[in-house]
Amino acid sequence: MGRHLVGADREGGARRTPGRAVVYAACGVVLLAGCASMPDSGDLRGVESTPRQDTQVRVFAMPPHEDASSSEIVSGFLEALTSDDPDYEIARKYLTKEASDNWRPQLSTTVLADGPGADVDRVGGREETDNLSYTLTGTKVATVDAQQSYASAGGDYSESMHLTRDKKTKQWRIDVPPRGVVMGKSDFQRNYMSVDKYYFATSTTLGTSPHTAAVADPVYVRRNVDPMTQTVRSLLKGPTSWLNPVVRSSFPTGTALKKDVTTLTPDDQNRLTVRLNDKAARVGLTKCNEMAAQLLFTLQNLTPTVDEVELRAGGRQLCALTEDRAEAVAARGSVERADYLYFLDDKHRLVRLAAATNGTNPDPVPGALGEGERQLESVAVSRDEAMAAGVGLDGRNLYVGALVAGGPLGDPELTSAGPTDEERLSAPSWDAQGDLWVADRDPDNPRLLLLKEGVGEPLVVKTPPGLEGRIESVRVAADGVRIALVVKDGDKSSLLIGRIERGEDGKAGDSTTVSVHELRSATPELEEVTAMSWAGDSRLVVVGREQGGVQTMRYVQVDGSTPEGPAPAALSGVKEITASEDARLPLVGYSEDGIVRLPSGAQWQKVVTDGTAPVYPG
């Protein structure tokens, strides 16, 4: 089975039945007809993972055989943790009854670079005692907590596991299992999938249309263990603790699936009926539509087979919501299509191309920024495409103007005192509320700044105490509650994702205080990040390099995990990158070939040779 050696290997390679059988999904229900070949002997191995591309592999755990050695019990248990067993029922057969009653596999999953190694702790002779301890070891990559939230991790993993031999049956069983579940990285990638749950931003300003912003909250669910029902249960439990301070759920506290609901399946009309407990029985139609929108957004992220959701509680229908009506309840960045792609031409003027075309002849934007009144080095366009902000060629001044014919350009809204271009203003970024963000990289006074509606006295955004390094670039998510920052500390630059809170201690309505909290790395493997952009509701595209490596472009999740699917096609000499949260629009880069774009399923294509600073709205 190609796994790390466990104790008994070194004691002579005991014969055994394997701890699991691997079956390809293509075999379907013909498993018993001989689809799987199960060897009855072989060397005892640990839990090295199956290759990632084999996500269609199904793994079925095997219970312990009679008179299994202690090392076979250990390896069989570790194998069973990587199976598709819904409640780890087979894994529990390797435990004593008391240990099984107390073991809580759902509390945590520890992901290791390779499968866990297991060494018996020697206390004298061979298996002469009725008690043995093993130490599980490995290198930590990540953890998934009880909320199913992923977090990158590092360092050594070392966990004790104790076995005892039953005095009557003489069978070895584990009486002290490891905490939670542990497995190798590629087994994790085969077993688990990332799903975005959706909640609503609490800070969204009324007056925008629609005024509610949907916020993605990624969690990991087990791929082959009824992921739809798992995902709905997770949604109902509420947001992860990281996102919780800035979002709300429309489901009343305590709402859960009705007790007799064990699985959720859409009908042949792609309609999913969700029966809830009595906590939801009294909700009104508006609240119910919001609940249904949360469900639809979440399930469409999981599967294309749900077009409509019906909610029931208290023996009656509460509401039914279709996909198109859900978009009127809340706005999602991933379905808000930009009208134009913007960049700077060879005269450093702001120009634009229709976003969803293959055009190569840009037009100047209406207004002063398109007329070349100020030469620019970086730009940002508001999400409604009515305003633009530009930083002048030397990085010193920030200008803001309306994208209307004859629109004037006044004095700079902001001026940096940094000594060099690289130590002055970053490229700006607009949030969903029409506010403008920019970093002043002045070494003597580094600050993250917010200009309400792009004008007036800038507000200094509070950043977490102990933030090491200087903010180099800023991108605010379409939902307005998450921010991506490239932070440079010495020779290393990292992509950090933070939570935006408005108001003192999160008090809504207080616009005088804006702060960023709980920064976490989205690129733990990269030593240098040179460009980034949001590329989905919980995904970014990043240009950077690993230690000692060459420049690479990849997608990353906000939680630091790697999304499924291929990386973007390679592009040499990338200086800047932009993407839309709407995946239907192509990636656009500024490279040594000028402005280039990457249509879906194609290779990079040149747009213009003489252009810089490409951006979609945001």
pLDDT, tens digit (0-9, with 9 covering 90-100), for 243-291: 999 999 999 999 999 999 999 999 999 999 999 999 999 999 999 999 9
Q: Please indicate, yes or no, whether residues 345 and 315 belong to a single structural domain of this protein.
A: no
Confidence of residue 433 (pLDDT cuts 50, 70, 90): confident
Locate 101 and state its tokens.
Answer: 């009653």
Q: Which two tokens stand for residue 239?
A: 């947001």
Rounded CA separation 423/119 (Å): 53
* Domains in the chain, number: 3
C-alpha–C-alpha distance, residues 495 and 473, integer Å: 9
Q: Which helix (H) or strand (E) covers residue 188, if one does? A: helix 185-191
Residue 30 has pLDDT above 90, yes or no: no
CA atoms within 13 A on the CB side of 401: 27
Strand order in the sheet with 316-322: 271-275, 308-313, 316-322
Residue 503 and residue 507: Cα distance in Å, rounded? Answer: 5
Is residue 197 situated within a structural domain? Answer: no
Question: By the 8 A CB rule, do 75 and 48 touch?
Answer: no
Task: Verify that 59 and 94 share a domain, yes or no.
Answer: yes
Evaluate whether residue 34 is within a structural domain. yes
| Residue where a domain stops, chosen among 151, 174, 192 | 192
- pLDDT tens digit string along 340-385? 999 999 999 999 999 988 889 999 999 999 998 899 999 999 999 9
Q: Return d(Cα 111, Cα 259) in angstroms, integer.
A: 32
In a domain, 1, yes or no: no
Say what angle helices 227-237 and 285-302 make with each other, to 10 degrees: 140
Please give the DSSP secondary-structure letter assigned to residue 568.
P
Q: Are residues 408 and 303 in the same domain?
A: no
Say if 478 falls within a structural domain.
yes
pLDDT at 204: 60
Residue type, 544: G
Structure tokens at 387: 């305003």
What's the rounded mean pLDDT across residues 538-555? 93
Contact status, residue 114 vs residue 48, Cβ threshold 8 Å: yes
Same-domain pairing of 175 and 208: no
- pLDDT at residue 510, as a whole number: 53
Give SS3 for 407.
Answer: coil
Question: What pLDDT score does 333 carry?
Answer: 84
C-alpha 125/C-alpha 590 separation (Å) is 67
Strand order in the sheet with 436-440: 429-430, 436-440, 447-451, 459-460
Shortest CA distance to 269 belongs to which of 323, 334, 332? 323
Report residue 530 as tokens: 């040179």
Q: How far apart are CA 332 and CA 210, in angstroms?
A: 10
Q: How far apart, in whole angstroms, are the C-alpha atoms of residue 200 and residue 329? A: 10
Q: Where are the beta strands (DSSP E) in 130-245?
A: 131-144, 150-152, 156-165, 172-176, 181-184, 192-201, 214-222
* Separation CA 228–CA 233 (nearest Å): 9
104: which strand partners?
none
Residue 2 is assigned to a structural domain of this protein: no
**Lowest-confidence segment of 151-160, 317-326, 351-360 by average pLDDT:** 351-360
Of the residues 310, 329, 348, which one is the last residue of a structural domain?
329
CA of 254: how far to CAs of 227, 233, 249, in Å? 21, 11, 11
- Could you tell me the residue range of the domain that residue 115 belongs to? 7-192
538-543-548 Cα angle (round to 5): 125
Are 185 and 223 within one domain? Answer: no
Distance CA 606, CA 588 (A): 10
Is residue 45, in this structure, part of any structural domain at all? yes
Which stretches of 238-369 are assigned E, i.e. beta strand? 247-248, 271-275, 308-313, 316-322, 340-345, 350-354, 363-364
Q: 464 with 608, same domain?
A: yes
Which of 192, 223, 251 is the last residue in one of the domains?
A: 192
User: Is beta strand 492-502 parallel, antiparallel or unpaired with respect to 482-489?
Assistant: antiparallel
The b/e string for 80-101 (b: 16+ C-beta within 10 A; e otherwise) is bbbbbbeebebbbbbbbeebbe
Indicate whether 425 and 316 sit together in one domain: no
Same domain, 506 and 382: yes
Give me 262's structure tokens.
């064990």
Are both 437 and 522 inside the same structural domain?
A: yes
Binned at pLDDT 50, 70 and 90, residue 301 comes out as confident
User: If residue 545 lies in a helix (H) or strand (E), which one and from where to where?
Assistant: strand 539-545
What's residue 21's pLDDT?
Answer: 47
| CATH code of 486's domain | 2.120.10.30
Question: 308 and 351 share a domain?
Answer: no
Amino acid 103: pLDDT: 97
- Asked whether residue 581 falls in the same domain as residue 499, the answer is yes
**Could you tell me which residues come within 8 angstroms of residue 365 by beta carbon, excluding any fewer than 6 positions away?**
342, 350, 351, 352, 388, 403
pLDDT band at 426 (very low <50, low <70, confident <90, very high): very high
Tell how far CA 522 is from the center of its chain. 8
pLDDT at 29 over 60: no
Instruction: Write the pLDDT tens digit of every residue in 101-132.
Output: 999 999 999 999 999 999 998 654 454 588 99
- Considering the domain boundaries, does residue 564 fall inside one? yes
What band does 395 get if pLDDT is binned at 50, 70 and 90? Answer: very high
- Cβ atoms of 440 and 449 closer than 8 Å: yes
Question: What pLDDT does 559 receive?
Answer: 96
Report the percentage of the chain scoring pLDDT > 90.
Answer: 75
Write out the two tokens for 109: 């999953």
Residues 376 and 450 in one domain: yes
Range of lowest pLDDT (18-27, 206-215, 515-524, 543-552): 18-27
Query: How far is residue 407 CA from its own chain's centroid?
Result: 40
